[in-house]
Structure 1
Amino acid sequence: MLIYMDPATVAALPSSLSAKRFERYQKTWPSRDDVAIRHYVWNIELSSTYWGPICILEVALRNAVHDAMRAGRRDDWWNETQLAEYEAGSLKRTIDKIFYKTGTEPGADDVVAATSFGFWVGMLSGGVPRHPVYNYETKFWQSRLHRAFPGITINDRKWLHGELVHIQTFRNRVAHHEPISHFKHDVMMSRITGVLGAISPGLSDYVTEAERVTAAVGRKRAALSSGDCLL
C-alpha cells in the first residue's frame, strides 16, 4: 500500500489557510494541530469524491428539465414562458453574462449549459403557490415536467424538490471548500442516487457502483492518525 506524505509535516499548509478557516478544525482537535491539518486535507479528499456523482446529477437534471420544457415548442422555451422572480433573474444573469463574453446572443444550448444548478432546482419548486401565473405545480410540473422523472409519480414533486434543495446546499459547501466531514454521507449519497433514479435507474445504478465517497469515508481513521491523505 502506498503511503503518502503526511500533510502535518508541510509547514506551509497551516499558514496558507486563513486563521478563521483553520480554527474550525482546531476546535475539533484542541492542541493537536497535526491532526487538525490532516483533517483539513482529508476533508479535501472527501469533497473531491463527490464531484463525479454531483456532475452526473447536475447534467442529467438540467437536460431532463430542459427536454421536458421544450417538448413540442422552441428550444429557447424561456422566451415564451413566464417565470417567477428567482428563475427569471437567474436566467437573465446567465444570458447577460454570455452576451458580455461573446458579444452575441447565446443559443439555447449555451444557456442551458451555463445556467446554475439552483435555476433547475427552482423549476421543480412550487413557484408561487396559488398564483395564476407563477404556480409551478400546475403550470410546469403537472403539465409536462413530471414526464422528465419516470422513476417517481406525479405526486412526488415536493419530495423531489426537497431532496434537490438538500443536495444543492451540500454541493455549495463542497464548491466553497467548507467542512463536510460531519455529514451523514450514506444519507447524502442516497439522496443523489435517489434523484438520479427518478430520472433514470441506469444512472442511479452506475453512480452507486462507481462512487468513491464510501471509500474516502472509510479512510478517515488512517488519514487522521498517520496523514495518509489523497488529493
Structure 2
Amino acid sequence: MSTSPPGGCRPAVPVVDAARIQDRLAVPRVATYVEACQGDLDRALLLYRWNAILAGALWETLGHTEVLLRNAIHDALTTRHGIRGIAGSWFDDVDGELDRRARDEIITAKRRARRSAGIGVPPGKIVAELPFGFWRYLLARRYSATLWPAIRHAFPHLPGRDRVQLEEPVIRLHQVRNRIAHHEPLIREDIPARVADVEAVLEAIDPALRAWVRDDGGRLGAIIDQRP
C-alpha cells in the first residue's frame, strides 16, 4: 500500500538554517567551501553537497580503475613467478625483493583473507585485501630493475614502455582516492586532469577498458559542469 499523501504530493521538506548545518558539519570543515564562495554560506553548502556528489561519481570510476590496475599487475607478477619456477606465489617473496612496507601489507592482507576464506586462501582474495597504495608503490623506481620488467608487460599500450608515464598518473589517482575516502574537498582538484589520468592508465592496459569504464552516459562530466 502506498504511503504517499493524497494526490501523490511529497511531504514538505523542513527548512534547515544554514548556520545550523554549518555547526553540525563543523565550522572548520565548511570553511574551505565558504572561502571558495566569498563568504556566501548558502552557496557554500550547495558546493559542499556538489563535492559529495562528485566524490561518489569519481569513486565509482576510481574503483573500476583500481581493480583493473591491480589485476593487471598481479597477473604479470604471477606469470613471472611461474616462469622462474619457484614454488608458492609471488606474494611469498622468497627472494626478498619487496620492501618492508609491502611485505607487511601482504601479511595483513593474508590474515584478513583467511578470516573469510579459511585455509587455502585463493590469490584473488589476497589481491582484494591489498590497498591501492600497495600497487602504486610496486611501480616505484626501487623496483625498476626487478619487478618492472615483468610488470610492464601488463601495460602493452604504454607509450615507450616508460615506467614513469604509468607511475605518475597512478600516484595522482591514489592521492585523490585518499581525499575522497577521508571526505576531503575536491574543489581545488583538477578533476578533468584526474579523469585524464584514469584514461591514461586504462589505455595502457587495454583501450577497450577505457571505453567501458568511461561509459557512464556522461554522468561524471555533467556533474563536473554543474559545479555551483
Taking structure 2 as the reference length, what is the TM-score of the superposition? 0.81
CA deviation map 1:9-38 (0-9, x unaligned): 434632331222112222223442111111
CA deviation map 1:203-222 (0-9, x unaligned): 112233425221101111xx
Query: What amino acid is aligned across from residue 65 of structure 1 in structure 2?
Result: I
- In 1, are the aligned partners of 2:77 and 2:90 still within 8 Å (CA)? yes
2:225 aligned to which of 204, 218, 221: 218
Return the offset for 1:56. 1.3
How large is the RMSD of aligned CA atoms in angstroms? 2.4
Return the offset for 1:102. 6.6
2:101 aligned to which of 71, 79, 86: 86
Counting only pairs closer than 5 Å after superposition, residues 8-157 of structure 1 correspond to structure 2 as 9-11=15-17, 13-71=21-79, 73=82, 76-79=89-92, 80-82=94-96, 83-99=98-114, 104=119, 106-127=121-142, 136-142=143-149, 144-153=150-159, 155-157=161-163
Distance 1:153 1:182 in 2: 29
- Greater gyration radius: 2
Taking structure 1 as the reference length, what is the TM-score of the superposition? 0.80
Distance 1:89 1:77 in 2: 14
Q: Identity over the aligned pairs, expressed in percent?
A: 27
1:189 aligned to which of 163, 170, 195: 195
Could you list the runs of 5+ residues in structure 1 that have no partner in the other structure?
1-6, 128-135, 225-231
- In 2, are the aligned partners of 1:94 and 1:115 still within 8 Å (CA)? yes
Whose relative contact order is higher, 1 or 2, with alpha carbons under 8 Å and at least 6 apart?
Answer: 1
Distance 1:37 1:199 in 2: 39
Could you list the runs of 5+ residues in structure 2 that have no partner in the other structure?
1-12
Distance 2:225 2:201 in 1: 24
- In 1, are the aligned partners of 2:112 and 2:129 still within 8 Å (CA)? no
Return the offset for 1:95. 2.1
Distance 1:53 1:188 in 2: 11
- In 1, are the aligned partners of 2:61 and 2:213 still within 8 Å (CA)? yes
Shift of the 121–163 alpha-carbon distance from structure 1 to 2, 3 Å rule, reads same
Q: What SS does the corresponding residue of 1:138 show, helix, strand or coil?
A: coil
CA deviation map 1:53-95 (0-9, x unaligned): 2111101011101101111526731113521122112222222
CA deviation map 1:105-126 (0-9, x unaligned): 6332211111001111111112
Shift of the 94–8 alpha-carbon distance from structure 1 to 2, 3 Å rule, reads farther
